[in-house]
């Protein structure tokens, strides 16, 4: 961990940021929603495999864009360079307003709900806000302190998940039969609305596979380490997710999760705690709930680390947002960090879990779709440009991502229209801010 000497984020920390961003509330809360659509094991497990393949295809494609444009900012940087600064600004606007703040709010809410199993007298919201405050403080001190915190919290996260998986496999007295073969009607369901909408939950759980791209400027040798970290982190998480969901279904039937979620609709279900109670008993289940709450700390930390770097990059380029580019003496974009945390706090206090989730899924899909499409655009526009990394499996892998993401977006728009339209409204509000900035800059000239 030589971050203190180089002042840069190492490859190891970059991978930790990707893994921590991905493994958050989604995988421990979404099975209840998914099982409401089907209790058949084959489509439920296929969801996580398909979601993983789509995320990996996205990571492979982002690797090429990261090599072409090695600057912090993620989609804000890629879309500005590939299409138009206005498009890049809109993606950055979403990242700055809800793209990171909303997943932080969701993870903190889930953390609070799991934590309340250990501290029932403390309100869920209080637990969420206290942990968010501590994590924000850690990342406001220095890059070195933030990197150390991230590596340790991610290592603890992976260890706890490994303990959970092994415990479920070895200690479950009466395991469920997990049949991976499709039953009659499974294929019909897979090509229907329910599967596509459930894929939105899975996409949310896999979101974060592009995390290291947001802080490329602060990573050692970004043209090589950003693509490597994206791919390594995504592969690791895909394996973890498939194993976790196997254990969930190995310990309890899918219908149990669906019934529990129906009783608590709109609030994230503690899937991990329910599963743990089967092989550890009620006390062990509470302990596991506390452990899952701790591993969510790493997820929040990674998003608090990465998100403000997008806002900072926007502040450097957009006149009316220059205040967001300010750094303290340690090189930390403190104003951007505080803004993101304030938005997260507001969402924790006011918004519902599932509404935020659908809105996030739709908006983020717009920009990841456009970024991966950018691989084709840049191959056509600049075929001779230096590419330290080229997308493995091109053009098949980018097409897999575009087809999978496009399919999910279509069904979200048609089945969750209100949430999708609200998301589009936030998108267009960013366009208004962009043109206001252009007018201000034009007047000063």
Backbone phi and psi for residue 40, each to the nearest 5 degrees, phi listed first:
-80, 135
CA 162-165-167 angle, 5° bins: 105
Q: Which residue has the higher pLDDT, 133 or 328?
A: 133
- Two structure tokens written together for 415: 């089945």
The pLDDT tens digits of the residues spanning 264-294 come to: 655 556 787 788 888 888 777 777 777 777 7
Q: In which region does residue 38 sit, left (phi positive, over 0), alpha (psi from -120 to 50) or beta (all else)? A: beta
The DSSP output letter for 99 is I
Closest by Cα among 244, 258, 248, 269 to 109: 269
Burial category of 287 from C-beta neighbours within 10 Å (exposed 0-12, middle 13-18, buried 19 and up): middle
**What is the percent of the chain with per-residue pLDDT over 70, rounded to a whole number?**
92
- In whole angstroms, what separates CA 191 from the centre of its chain? 25
Domains and their CATH numbers in the chain: 3-444 (1.20.1740.10)
> Best-predicted range by mean pLDDT among 16-25, 43-52, 205-214?
43-52
Assigned token pair, 183 = 């039953």
Q: For residue 73, what pLDDT is reported?
A: 73
d(C-alpha 129, C-alpha 349), whole Å: 9
Over residues 406-442, the pLDDT tens digits come to: 988 887 788 777 877 877 887 888 888 888 877 776 5
Q: Is the model's pLDDT at 239 over the cut of 80?
A: yes
> Residue ranges of the alpha helices (H) in 318-416?
334-350, 353-381, 396-415
Mean pLDDT over each residue of the chain, to the nearest integer: 81
Does the pLDDT of residue 150 top 80, yes or no?
A: no
Contact present, 270 and 162 (Cβ < 8 Å): no
Whether 195 contacts 14, CB under 8 Å:
no
- Residue 252 is encoded by which pair of tokens? 């309890």
pLDDT digits (tens, 9 = 90+) for 28-41: 777 877 877 777 88
């Amino acid at each position: 961990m030589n971050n203190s000497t180089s002042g840069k984020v190492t490859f190891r920390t970059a991978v930790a940021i990707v893994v921590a961003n991905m493994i958050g509330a989604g995988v421990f809360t979404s099975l209840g929603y998914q099982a409401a659509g089907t209790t058949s094991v084959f489509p439920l497990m296929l969801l996580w495999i398909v979601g993983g393949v789509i995320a990996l295809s996205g990571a492979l494609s982002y690797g090429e864009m990261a090599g072409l444009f090695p600057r912090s900012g993620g989609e804000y940087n890629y879309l500005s360079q590939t299409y138009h600064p206005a498009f890049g600004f809109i993606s950055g606007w979403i990242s700055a307003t809800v793209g990171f703040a909303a997943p932080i709010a969701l993870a903190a809410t889930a953390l609070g709900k799991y934590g309340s199993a250990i501290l029932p007298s403390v309100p869920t919201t209080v637990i969420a806000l206290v942990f968010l405050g501590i994590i924000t403080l850690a990342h406001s001190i220095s890059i070195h302190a933030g990197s150390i915190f991230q590596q340790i919290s991610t290592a603890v996260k992976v260890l706890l998940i490994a303990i959970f998986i092994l415990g479920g496999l070895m200690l479950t007295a009466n395991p469920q039969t997990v049949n991976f073969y499709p039953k009659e009607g499974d294929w019909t369901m897979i090509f229907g609305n329910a599967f596509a909408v459930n894929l939105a939950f899975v996409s949310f759980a896999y979101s974060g596979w592009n995390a290291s791209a947001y802080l490329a400027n602060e990573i050692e040798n970004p043209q090589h380490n950003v693509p490597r970290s994206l791919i390594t982190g995504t592969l690791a998480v895909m394996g973890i997710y498939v194993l976790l969901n196997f254990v969930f279904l190995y310990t309890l039937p899918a219908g149990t999760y669906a019934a529990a979620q129906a009783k608590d609709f709109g609030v994230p279900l503690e899937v991990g705690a329910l599963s743990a109670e089967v092989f550890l008993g009620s006390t062990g289940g509470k302990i596991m709930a506390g452990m899952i709450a701790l591993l969510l700390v790493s997820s929040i930390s990674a998003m608090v680390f990465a998100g403000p770097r997008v806002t900072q990059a926007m502040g450097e380029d957009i006149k009316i947002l220059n205040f967001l580019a300010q750094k303290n003496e340690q090189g930390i974009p403190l104003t951007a960090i505080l803004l993101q945390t304030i938005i997260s706090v507001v969402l924790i206090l006011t918004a519902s879990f599932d509404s935020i989730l659908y809105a996030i899924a739709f908006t983020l899909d717009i920009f990841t779709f456009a970024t991966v499409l950018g691989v084709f655009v840049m191959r056509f526009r600049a075929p001779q440009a230096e590419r330290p990394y080229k997308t493995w499996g091109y053009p098949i892998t980018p097409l897999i991502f575009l087809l999978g993401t496009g399919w999910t977006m279509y069904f979200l728009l048609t089945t969750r229209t209100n949430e999708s339209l609200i998301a589009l409204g936030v998108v267009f509000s960013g366009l208004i801010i962009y043109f206001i900035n252009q007018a201000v800059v034009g007047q000063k000239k």
